[in-house]
Amino acid sequence: MISKLFEINKIVSKELWFDFAVKSFDGFTLTVSGGIDVYNKQLLEITFANVSFVSLKGDWKRNDELNFIEILTGERSETLKRKYFIESYHTVFLLNHEDLTDSNQFIVAAEKIDYIYNFDNS
């Protein structure tokens, strides 16, 4: 899972800017698409499987100063798991965005993550 996060962050950091939007969520699987113009040219599609918690906007811009996605660990993760009744075996992901503060974090708790990178989406 760590290698996938590294790869996703590497893809996102290559571009001067990167926008994201929720593509779909069926209650179990969350798909987020991203690109320079997320509504016309999607470069990246991230899928979270077996989702137990989601807190994010419909679309957003990445924070250029931080990795786009990270895994919360330790007390930060445990506090959110207790507060939102997140399954103990789920990973808590933080999706960094340009308006990030302690009170408006974008969080996804899921069992798995995967992605598709379409570098030539003509």
Mean pLDDT, consecutive 10-residue stretches, the chain (122 aa), reads 91 86 94 83 90 87 79 94 93 82 78 87 50
Tally the domains of the chain: 1
Task: Give the residue numbers spanning the domain of 29.
Answer: 2-117
DSSP assignment letter at 43: -
pLDDT of amino acid 106: 86
pLDDT of amino acid 15: 83
E strand or H helix at 115, and its extent? strand 112-117
pLDDT of amino acid 105: 75
pLDDT of amino acid 14: 87
* Residue 17 belongs to a domain: yes
> What's phi and psi for 12, nearest 5 deg?
-65, -40
pLDDT of amino acid 66: 78
* Residue 122 belongs to a domain: no
pLDDT of amino acid 37: 76
